[in-house]
Homo-oligomer: A and B are copies of this chain.
Amino acid sequence: MSKLVIVGTVAFDAIETPFGKTDKILGGSASYISLAASKFNVDSAIVSVVGGDFPKEYLKTLNERNINIDAVEIVEDGKTFFWSGKYHNDLNSRDTLITDLNVLADFKPVVPQSYKDCEFLLLGNLHPTVQMDVIKQIPIRPKLVVLDTMNFWMDNTLPELMEVLKKIDVIAINDEEARQLSGEYSLVKAAQKIYEMGPKYVIIKKGEHGALLFHEENVFFAPALPLEEVFDPTGAGDTFAGGFCGYLAKTEDISFENMKNAIIYGSNLASFCVEKFGTERMQELTTDEVKERLKAFKELTQFDIEIS
Contact = CB atoms under 8 A, between A and B. Distances in A.
A210 B197 CA distance: 29
A88 to B, nearest CB: 11
Contacts of A308: 291
B228 A188 contact: yes
B304 A261 contact: yes
Nearest to A259: B303
Interface string A204-241: 00100110100000111101001111100000000000
Interface string A281-308: 0000000000100110011111111011
Contacts of A206: 209
A305 B294 contact: yes
Contacts of A303: 220, 260-261, 264, 301
A186 interface: yes
Contacts of A230: 186
A294 B308 CA distance: 11
Nearest to A292: B307
A261 B265 CA distance: 24
A77 interface: no
A228 B189 contact: yes
12 contacts: A89-B185, A186-B229, A188-B228, A220-B299, A220-B300, A260-B304, A261-B303, A261-B305, A264-B305, A294-B307, A295-B307, A298-B305
Can you list the 3 inter-chain pairs with the closest CB atoms, starting with the nearest?
Answer: A209-B209, A260-B303, A221-B223
Interface of A: 89-90, 185-189, 206, 209-210, 212, 218-221, 223, 226-230, 257, 260-261, 264-265, 291, 294-295, 298-305, 307-308
Given A220-B300, A257-B304, A265-B305, 18 more contacts: A186-B229, A188-B227, A188-B228, A206-B209, A209-B209, A210-B210, A219-B226, A220-B301, A221-B223, A221-B300, A223-B223, A260-B304, A261-B303, A261-B304, A261-B305, A294-B305, A294-B307, A298-B307
